[in-house]
Structures are given as structure tokens and as C-alpha cells.
Structure 1
Amino acid sequence: MKKIKRKAAGKELKVPMFVIGYAAPEPPAPGFLAAWFDQEYGGPLTIQLPRDPGTTRFEAQHGPWSALVETSLPHAIAEAWREQLQWSHPHAAQVLPLRMTGRDSRNSVLHVTRLARGITLLTGGTAYDAATDTYLNPSDWMDRPLRTFRLDDHLRIEQVEGRADGRVWFHTRGLSKFGLEDIETYRPTGLSERPVIEAFTEIADVLTLMGKAPNVGESFIVEGLNRMVRVVRHRTDQSYSLRLNLREVEWG
């Protein structure tokens, strides 16, 4: 049995974790999303509807984890996303977390991502992960069942070459989902990228478990590397359309 409650409408939506574009004439009904979620993940997904029957915005809660869902954005906003993301979908939905705390951020991110997956599959649309700049079609979600938390479902590690200083820039994209700054480091050209990618995976794993990033000058132990990692600098970067907040890290 699906639990559906009503509550007062909340504040304006924040920047979403996911935008889902679709061409279906009608958005998926909240009850359909709840039924899909319960079948996929055991549920129960509790839907809390606003008092305004004309809105498609609602809260979707599973256990202590809540997300704000809007399955049909206003036309002007959907058009803005269509222009920015260069897709053909005339309609758009969005999902973002509610009441996320640092130490529980993994479960909150997993909950939101599961809902984005469900809306994509129910509409046959395309999900855009804003933090990682990744597009996910229904076939892509089939390879990401999200049964449990896997960091690589939520994070990208980028390698940028051809810099003026001759170094290779490595950085993550996606830690902002967890309320953290992304991390970066630099290496000389010509070295294997694999050790850095493996180290970043271990470091990001520790940071998402900690739920907070150490300050500049502080160090923390990463057991997977069997060494200390030090934060040496904090900066912002606008190489992409979305500003990145970065912490440079070093390890011996």
C-alpha cells in the first residue's frame, strides 16, 4: 500500500542534483514512481503531496532520507534547460535532496539518484547529473542498478593535458553532491594516470565517509593508500560552465 500524505508547499526549488528531460505528454504520477521504487528497492516510498493540486512538486521519503521532486517544471524553466543542455526534450523534471547531513550524505545521494533513475525509466527520457556533467539515458541506468552505494556511480575523475605549465591536471567532479569541495592534484606529463585515479578513488571514499573536508594545511589518513593526505590549497575554477570549488591534495 502506497503511503500518500499532504503537506504545505515548500520554498522555491534549489539547484537540482538531477534534471530529467522527456518527451512524454504527461509526467509520471507520484503513485507510479512510488510503485516503481517499492518494486526496485523494497520501499516503502512515502509521497507527501502539497496542498495545491495544480503543482507537480512533492516530497519523496524512504526511511530518514528525503528528496524534493518536481516532475513537470514550468515551461520557461524546461526551455532554459533544453537550450543549455542541447537536448530535444520539451519537458523536464528535477530532483534534489532535503535535510542532508554530512555523515549520512552517501545514503541521501543514493536516494536522490534512485529517484532520478526511476523518472528516467518511467518517461524514457534523459537524466543530466549536474555535478558530474553526465547524461544518462535509460540504457545507461540499466548498467547502474543502484542496489547499494558505489562511489563510481556518483563521481568522475578528470584528466586534463596540454596545459601551459606542462603538467597534467587531475580533479574530481561530483563531490559537491555530498556537500564537499572536489579535489585536485598535478603530475608531470608522461606518467601513468592510473596511480592518481586509484588514489583519488580512495581519498574520495574517505571524504564522503567523513562528511567534511579538512582545512588547508590539515592532513588525514587514507588507509587504502597507507599514507597521510594533506590539503595544500583551496581555489575556485571556471574552466567548465559550472564553477568548481577545489581543494588541492598531496600525498607522499
Structure 2
Amino acid sequence: MKKLVLTGAAGRLGSYLREPLSKMCDTLVSTDIADDIGTLYPGETYVKGDLASLDDMMKVCEGADMIVHFGAFVDEGPFEQLLGPNFIGAYNVWEAAHRHGARRVVYASSIHAVGMYPKNEFIGTDVPHRPDTFYGLAKCFAEDLGRMYWEKRGLESVHMRILSCAQVNNARALGSWLSYDDLIQLVTRCIETPVTGFSVIYGVSNNDRAPVDNASASFLGYRPQDNAEDFAAEVLAQTDPLDPQDSGHMCHGGPFAAVDLGQSGLANMTIVDDRKTT
């Protein structure tokens, strides 16, 4: 491909995607609201841009074959805080992609779009939305937006419902973990698959305890290699018995399912910021 665009390039997941994406195209345009993202990879350029600005997204998406959209406010918060980057930002990315004739948007959706389903329900990619927060609601909005732009305007999109892409240091992650290597494979398959239309796939590794079903998305060729069971003995030895009446333990959304609307979900998690540095 001639040009890929990566939004959210300054984020933790974006830091692991920049190098492999730069090798898939002549030019990778990375964008975020940070002033810079450090040393660039060969073929990579950085453009500071605000997702909430259609003008900014029009500039970065010009000439792009595909947009890999990872930019967002990545936590629960008041609706007004998420409105610009997560809701309006999604519209701006899809609209800019459409106006510039891009082929596909590969989107970092989230398990929080369906986070209120009980974890003992093995859910597929076709279950109705059941968001756990305003953050999850924004993911529902972007998924519906992607379906509409496919059906009305022919713009393909793949929506990766990432469960938890972080170090395995809690019991929930034994089922929800997505390793960085599997993340890279997943995004690569979403880009390289010849035809996707509108598709949804769960972003999860090959965990013995994975609570979701990707059978309907097998055509994407995603075959995860890592398994959180490697960490199970250590994690469970450090974990007190969980409360089955606590929605944070019982629901797919984990801590996000338990917080009040507008209150941080990350505040109740122990995510290690191990972003990759060039």
C-alpha cells in the first residue's frame, strides 16, 4: 500500500503498531494530540491532529489506502469528555476516509460495547450491543457508524473488540488477555484480508478461558498464538475469591461494568504502562 494512517499513535497500543505498520506501506502517517512521538521509523511521518476536528482528519487521511483508528479518550468519563474524541472523532475519521476514497477503516473497538453480558455467557460477534459505560456506548456508536458507511457508501471496516491488551496481573485477564504479538497479527490480518465488508472480531489471545467466540470472523485469518494460562498459577495464587454478585467480577466488562456512569474504570485496574520506545 502507498499510505496508511494510524490514529492514537502516542498511546500504549499505538506504540507497538507503529513499526509493523510502517513496513506495510510506503508512508505511514501517525497522528495524535501529543506534540511528538519520539524517533520515527523509516517511512513514518508524524502529524499532530485532533480527532474532534474534521479539518485535521481530512489532512491526515488524504491519499490514505486505509486508516487504523486507535485514537480515543481511553477510559470512562463524563459524556461531555468523550463526545469530542470518541463520538465526533469516529464520525470525522469515517467521513474523511469516505471523502478521500479510502478503502477500509480498521477500528479499535472494545469488549465494553457488550460489557454488561455475564461472563458465563459465551458470546459471539453477532450479539446485540450491551454497553457498560459511556465509553462502551461510544464503541457501539462507531460500530453502527461503520456498518452504515459500508451499507450506504461502500466503505469497509473491521471492528476489533479488544478485551484487555495489557500485562496479565489479575484473574479477569486469564480470559481477556490480548498479547502485543497477537495484537499486531490481528491488525495485520484486518488490513491484508482482501474483502471484509463490515466485520466484527474479538481482540483476544488463544486463552483457555477466553469468554468470547470468534468463529464468525474466521475468514479474517486471525489465529492467536499466546495463552494467558501460562500466568494462571501465579495470578490465582495472589487472588482472593471473587464475588459472583459483583458485576465487576461477573460481567465481560470487568471493572467498567461495576463503576457508575462517568466514573473512571481504569482507576480500579492495575494496567502497567509498558509502551514501546523506539
Calculate the TM-score normalised by the size of structure 2.
0.27
Structure number having the greater strand percentage: 1
Structure number having the greater helix percentage: 2
User: Which structure is higher in RCO with an 8 Å CA cutoff and minimum separation 6?
Assistant: 2
